[in-house]
């Protein structure tokens, strides 16, 4: 499947590529973790030339340099920006000492958007994300401010990232009841090594028709294929997990590598293909510090996992979900259906519920 086989983003009319390009690594204004302007532009060109149309960044990435790189590139190529879904995020405070420099209050959202539009040299964004939950601001203030920006033509669509499911549900319900612009997507951490999103946020997204955009789909590189038992790889991912992968993570990494060997592809491609096969609309965000990293990730578009592969990966990576998720599986069916099959779901008779017992 090529990048120009588009999908509709959630319950909207916005069509995007099956992989979004994450520009978090664009720019070298913070600690050398990103890449320079020239390499960033090569990565962007490679993605767009292959049919990609969905580019994601944030005001906070590389201290604003990421947005500026994107803005300069599009400004130098008239006509290209109109055919790209450009997304950025607000929340991160870039003005030390200013309590209103970040967050999700009305004044700060407007100010952050104006700064992003200035750096990106555009008059609107196609998708604007809340980067994190602002627990000091009423959610209705945030949603009304975003709706006003949509009505003003400054943004087109709205999404949430890294926000609890109960807050997200409150925001979506409030918007729908009041006729404000609803959410169309959630940006979440999701990978074979990070599946706890399946407890609350993923079911909410499926119910509300929200797309999921997984960030860190390779778990800081642990699913790239570089990390194998007995190996020693020193890079940013090693710093993210002091001491390296634990036994459970190694088991997942080994299972992914086995599937990759079976299909003649890479662990990264298998991991990304697994994500794309999850329920609902799932559009992984792929990042890169070099063009070859991007090319390796895009190889996932040509990977088809068999039912056996999916079963093996699902089982080895099965997450331990927080309460009340454990109550919603077999025990729920046992208590609710008492041995009957409903909507194709069988159940057993819960031992105390014997049909011949009467009180």
The burial of 318, by beta-carbon neighbours within 10 Å (0-12 exposed, 13-18 middle, 19 or more buried), is given as exposed
CB 158 within 8 A of CB 182: yes
Q: What is the per-residue burial (b if ≥16 Cβ within 10 Å, else e) of 10-32?
A: bebebebbbbbbbbbbbbbeeee
Question: Mutual orientation of helices 267-276 and 307-316 as an angle, nearest 10°?
Answer: 90
Question: Structure tokens of 217?
Answer: 């789909």
pLDDT for res 339: 78
Question: Structure tokens of 133?
Answer: 């939950």
- Of 173, 107, 96, 97, residue with least CA distance to 134: 107
Please compute Rg for the chain using Cα positions.
Answer: 22
DSSP 190: -
Handedness of CA 28, 55, 93, 201 (dihedral sign): negative
Q: Looking at the DSSP assignment, which residues form a beta bridge with residue 125?
A: 155
Q: Looking at the DSSP assignment, which residues form a beta bridge with residue 161?
A: 187
| 61 is known as an active-site residue | yes
- Its pTM stands at 0.91
pLDDT for res 237: 46
CB 65 within 8 A of CB 51: no
Per-residue pLDDT of the chain (359 residues; tens, 9 = 90+): 789 999 999 999 999 999 999 999 999 876 556 899 999 999 999 999 999 999 999 999 999 999 999 999 999 999 999 999 999 999 999 999 999 999 999 999 999 999 999 999 999 999 999 999 999 999 999 999 999 999 999 999 999 999 999 999 999 999 999 999 999 999 999 999 999 999 999 999 999 999 999 999 999 999 998 887 766 555 544 444 445 688 999 999 999 999 999 999 999 999 999 999 999 999 999 999 999 999 999 999 999 999 999 999 999 999 999 988 887 765 666 567 777 888 887 877 766 555 555 55
Question: Structure tokens of 33?
Answer: 């973790």
Which residues have a Cβ under 8 Å from the Cβ of 244 and sit 6 or more positions away?
227, 238
Q: Which residue of the set 6, 47, 61, 190 is catalytic?
A: 61
State CA 36 to chain mean position distance.
24
Place of tokens 């105390």: 352
pLDDT for res 342: 81
Q: Looking at the DSSP assignment, which residues form a beta bridge with residue 186?
A: 160, 212
Q: Which fold has domain 7-317?
A: TIM Barrel (3.20.20)
Query: For the chain, what are the domain ranges?
Result: 7-317, 329-359
Q: Looking at the DSSP assignment, which residues form a beta bridge with residue 55?
A: 21, 86
pLDDT for res 334: 59
DSSP 284: P
* Range list of β-strands (E), 180-300: 183-189, 211-215, 285-286
Place of tokens 């979004």: 20
Q: How far apart are CA 162 and CA 87, in angstroms?
A: 16
């Amino acid at each position: 499947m090529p990048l120009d086989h588009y999908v509709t983003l959630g319950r909207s009319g916005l069509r995007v590529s099956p992989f979004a390009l994450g520009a978090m690594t664009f720019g070298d204004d913070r600690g050398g973790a990103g890449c320079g302007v020239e390499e960033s532009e090569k990565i962007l060109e490679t993605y767009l030339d292959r049919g990609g149309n969905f580019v994601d960044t944030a005001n906070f990435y590389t201290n604003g340099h990421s947005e500026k790189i994107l803005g300069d590139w599009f400004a130098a190529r008239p006509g290209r920006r109109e055919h790209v879904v450009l997304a950025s995020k607000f929340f991160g405070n870039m003005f030390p000492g200013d309590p209103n420099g970040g967050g999700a209050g009305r004044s700060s959202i407007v100010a952050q958007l104006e700064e992003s539009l200035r750096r990106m040299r555009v008059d609107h964004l196609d998708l604007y994300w809340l980067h994190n939950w602002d627990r000091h601001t009423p959610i209705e203030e945030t949603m009304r401010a975003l709706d006003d920006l949509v009505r003003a033509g400054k943004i087109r669509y709205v999404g949430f990232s890294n926000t609890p499911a109960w807050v997200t549900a409150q925001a979506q319900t409030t918007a729908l009841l009041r006729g404000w612009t609803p959410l169309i997507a959630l940006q979440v951490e999701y990978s074979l090594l990070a599946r706890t999103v399946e407890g609350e946020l993923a079911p909410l997204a499926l119910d509300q028709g929200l797309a999921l955009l997984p960030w860190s789909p390779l778990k800081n590189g642990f699913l790239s294929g570089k990390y194998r038992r007995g190996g020693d790889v020193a890079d940013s991912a090693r710093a993210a997990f002091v001491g390296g992968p634990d036994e459970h993570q190694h088991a997942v990494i080994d299972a992914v590598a086995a599937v990759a060997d079976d299909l003649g592809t890479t662990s990264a491609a298998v991991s990304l293909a697994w994500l794309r096969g999850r329920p609902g609309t799932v559009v992984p965000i792929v990042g890169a510090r070099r063009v070859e990293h991007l090319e390796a990730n895009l190889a996932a578009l040509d990977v088809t996992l068999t039912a056996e592969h999916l079963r093996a990966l699902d089982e080895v990576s099965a997450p331990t979900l927080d309460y009340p998720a454990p109550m919603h599986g077999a025990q729920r069916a046992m208590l609710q259906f008492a041995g009957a099959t409903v909507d194709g779901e069988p159940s057993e008779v819960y031992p105390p519920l014997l049909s011949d017992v009467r009180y």
